[in-house]
Amino acid sequence: MKDCEAIVRVLEDEGVDTIFGIPGIHTLSLYDEISKHKSLRHILVKHEQSAVFSALGYALTTNRTGVALVVPGPGVLNTVSAVAEAYYQHKPIVLLAADIPLTTQGRGMFHEVDSMRILTPITKARYAPRSASEVVEALREAFYQARAGCPGPVYVAIPQDILEGRETVTTLAQKKAYAPPAVMPGDVQKVAALLCESSAPFLWAGDGVVFAEAMDELRVLAETLELPVITAMGARGCMPEDHPLNAGVPGFGFPCAIFKNADLSVAIGLRFTVLDTYLRFIPAPKQLVRIGVFADDYRPEDRSGYQITHEITAHPKQFLAALVDEVKSAMRNKSRRNPITELLSEHTRANMTAQPAALYPDDALVKPQHFMRALSAALQGKDFSYITESVWAFMRGISPRIQKPLRFGIVQSFGCLGFSLPAAIGAAVAHPEHRVIGISGDGGFLFSCQEIATAADNSLANLAYFIITNNQFRNFYYTQQELFAGRHIATSWKPIDFAMVAEGFGAKGYTIASPAEVEPTIARVLSEPGPAIVSVITESVPTPEEEMFVQKIKNTGAIIGE
């Protein structure tokens, strides 16, 4: 078989059913072969960055490897920010690209750039096959490395003359299976003893719990020992967020003080990033056990401030299953009292009895938190995925509860704007059976608003996208107001009619311009097929977190953004 056919057959064998990308002269031979295989769906995006963001949204909500396909030079470089976001999120992505022909490399030809060197700091592995016989092995290794151990993005660049060549490929090689590290009985016994003997323990669940599909084992362990569970942002839904033992995601309003007297935490698949730890505000327990399939992160700086006392390399699902059996045996006919669990219950009851502010005050514009509460109420009981880059969208107490794993995506420590819309498209393509909700501010939306056309082209009836519109980069505008004597520069723009923009791209457009329009518009959008783009014109108000950090800078002179 020819090289392009071998590539496509390897993709099929690796379980790929969707590719996000943009063709070019270098990849037309490969695209022609893709057209012959009905098992592969290609989604034409409108910018290469969106190809990787869409693949990331696909990976976030399927636990499968997302695939993007681009041309060399500017095509690859346009993906860099999105690849970095996938790298920071430790999500399996394979970025396929053509490269300029081998016969012209090193001569400064059209599109030539050292993409391998550029992508080295933000990819887990990179492959540059130089013959047709090397291509299949490179692809097999790429899909293996994307998921083995600590997952991450992998880059494969195939020269154009190999894609268009006549060389015959005689073997597809074998799909590589990952063998996770074995569970050591001694490690299980040690952690069980620590949990049973500690007086104030808690569990700390990271993305690795979801990636390893260890959700059931985590819940059973928590219930067996009545352990509160903190979930990292990427692990939302690993326990239903209305479960009494789910402490929630660290963020504004999170009861950090409850955990200050903890004597033990067992962290599963957690990296201790600034988002996982709420900028290191979560107190470090006296003993910290970490369980994961890799002993060394490829970003070790994530652990700053947290001294791991027991590092255990094991597959989270297998280890937690063995740990559950061990603690059940050790705790048979015994009872325990965990003060952290009791404090968490008191905190939850206090929040439930607190009277919320009126949903719709007599204001001309909608307050963002009021819109978020209305959306959360409308989503209760519905099957949905939730993709966001808005700071309002995960504020404690107003964000929709995530009740299932693989139903949430957000920019993480890299913080790349432009993520939400293409990532929501990737999720909507992957899950036509349920509603996909995307949210961003208008500033972030403008980074990738052209992807409305992608949603319309593919008739994504399950996609509803909400824009919190205030005609500015509100957090920067607020910071300029408070810290730079109101000298506003480069943080605002003239109002944009996003509903009209949506309709121009072929989607449904809606505008919420007053508090009275919030509930009926949300109800309509959620009951009708999309794709729908909803501009929610809001007051320009800072989040409580932004107010807190600006006040800290005023009081202490700390560096902005520290």
The values of phi and psi at residue 235, to 5°, are: -105, 10
Q: Is residue 64 pLDDT above 80, yes or no?
A: yes
pLDDT band at 79 (very low <50, low <70, confident <90, very high): very high
- Give the type of residue at 50: S
CA-closest candidate to residue 315, choices 151, 150, 182, 144: 182
Stretch among 102-106, 329-333, 439-443 having the lowest mean pLDDT: 102-106
Q: Is residue 333 pLDDT above 90, yes or no?
A: no
Q: Where are the domains of the chain?
A: 3-163, 185-337, 368-556
Give the position of tokens 């730079």: 484
Distance CA 74, CA 30 (A): 19
Stretch among 271-285, 439-453, 543-557 having the lowest mean pLDDT: 543-557
pLDDT number for residue 546: 81
pLDDT band at 344 (very low <50, low <70, confident <90, very high): confident
Task: For 3-163, give the CATH class.
Answer: alpha beta
pLDDT, tens digit (0-9, with 9 covering 90-100), for 252-271: 778 888 999 999 999 999 98
pLDDT band at 348 (very low <50, low <70, confident <90, very high): confident
pLDDT band at 358 (very low <50, low <70, confident <90, very high): low
Please give the order of strands across the beta sheet that includes 18-21: 41-44, 18-21, 66-70, 93-99, 153-159, 125-127
Distance CA 408, CA 552 (A): 31
- How many CA atoms within 13 Å lie on the side-chain side of 168? 2
Q: Label the pairing between strands 125-127 and 384-388.
A: unpaired
Q: How many CB atoms lie within 10 A of CB 515?
A: 20
**What pTM was estimated for this model as a whole?**
0.94
Q: Is residue 361 pLDDT above 70, yes or no?
A: no
What homologous superfamily is domain 368-556 in, according to CATH? Thiamin diphosphate (ThDP)-binding fold, Pyr/PP domains (3.40.50.970)
Q: Label the pairing between strands 463-469 and 435-441.
A: parallel
Q: Which residue has the higher pLDDT, 103 or 206?
A: 206
pLDDT number for residue 113: 87
pLDDT, tens digit (0-9, with 9 covering 90-100), for 154-163: 999 999 988 9
Decide: 83 and 93 in contact? Cβ < 8 Å. yes
Q: Is residue 85 pLDDT above 70, yes or no?
A: yes
Q: Is 159 exposed, middle or buried (0-12, 13-18, 19+ CB in 10 A)?
A: buried
- Give the type of residue at 274: V
CA-closest candidate to residue 63, choices 320, 367, 431, 374: 431
pLDDT number for residue 297: 59
pLDDT, tens digit (0-9, with 9 covering 90-100), for 165-211: 877 888 888 898 888 899 999 999 999 999 999 999 999 999 999 99
Categorise residue 162: left if φ over 0, alpha if ψ from -120 to 50, beta otherwise. alpha
Distance CA 222, CA 66 (A): 32
CA angle 162, 163, 164 (to 5 degrees): 90
pLDDT band at 6 (very low <50, low <70, confident <90, very high): very high
Q: Is residue 355 pLDDT above 50, yes or no?
A: no
pLDDT number for residue 549: 79
Average pLDDT taken over every residue of the chain: 91
- Give the type of residue at 399: S
- Give the type of residue at 58: Y
pLDDT band at 476 (very low <50, low <70, confident <90, very high): confident
Q: Is residue 389 pLDDT above 60, yes or no?
A: yes
Query: 99: which residues sit within 8 A by CB, 6+ positions away?
Result: 26, 72, 105, 115, 128, 157, 158, 159, 160
Topology alike, domains 3-163 and 185-337: yes
Q: What is the rounded average pLDDT of the residues 372-383?
A: 94
CA-closest candidate to residue 316, choices 208, 201, 429, 219: 208
Query: 77: which residues sit within 8 A by CB, 6+ positions away?
Result: 113, 115, 118
Give the position of tokens 């401030």: 305
pLDDT band at 244 (very low <50, low <70, confident <90, very high): very high
Q: How many CB atoms lie within 10 A of CB 102?
A: 14
Helix, coil or strand: residue 324: helix
CA-closest candidate to residue 181, choices 295, 308, 269: 295
Decide: 299 and 321 in contact? Cβ < 8 Å. no
pLDDT band at 561 (very low <50, low <70, confident <90, very high): low
Q: Is residue 443 pLDDT above 80, yes or no?
A: yes
pLDDT number for residue 153: 98
Beta bridge partners of 96: 69, 156
Decide: 46 and 86 in contact? Cβ < 8 Å. no
Sign of CA dihedral 494, 500, 504, 510: positive
pLDDT band at 452 (very low <50, low <70, confident <90, very high): very high
- Give the type of residue at 324: V
Q: Is 197 exposed, middle or buried (0-12, 13-18, 19+ CB in 10 A)?
A: exposed
Decide: 398 and 392 in contact? Cβ < 8 Å. yes
Q: Label the pairing between strands 125-127 and 66-70.
A: unpaired
Q: What percent of the chain has pLDDT over 70?
A: 95
Give the position of tokens 């001294």: 307
Give the position of tokens 């109420």: 377
Beta bridge partners of 70: 97
How many residues in total does the chain contain? 562
Distance CA 455, CA 459 (A): 6
pLDDT number for residue 298: 55
Helices (H), 431-507: 442-445, 452-457, 474-483, 498-505
- Give the type of residue at 2: K
Q: Is residue 433 pLDDT above 80, yes or no?
A: yes
Indicate the helix (H) or strand (E) that contains 440: strand 435-441
Q: Is residue 548 pLDDT above 60, yes or no?
A: yes
Q: String of b and e for 385-405 (b: at least 16 CB within 10 Å)?
A: bbbbbbbbbbbeebbbbbbbb
Q: Respond yes or no on whether the N-terminal peptide bond of residue 101 is cis (omega within 30° of 0).
A: no
Task: For 185-337, give the CATH class.
Answer: alpha beta
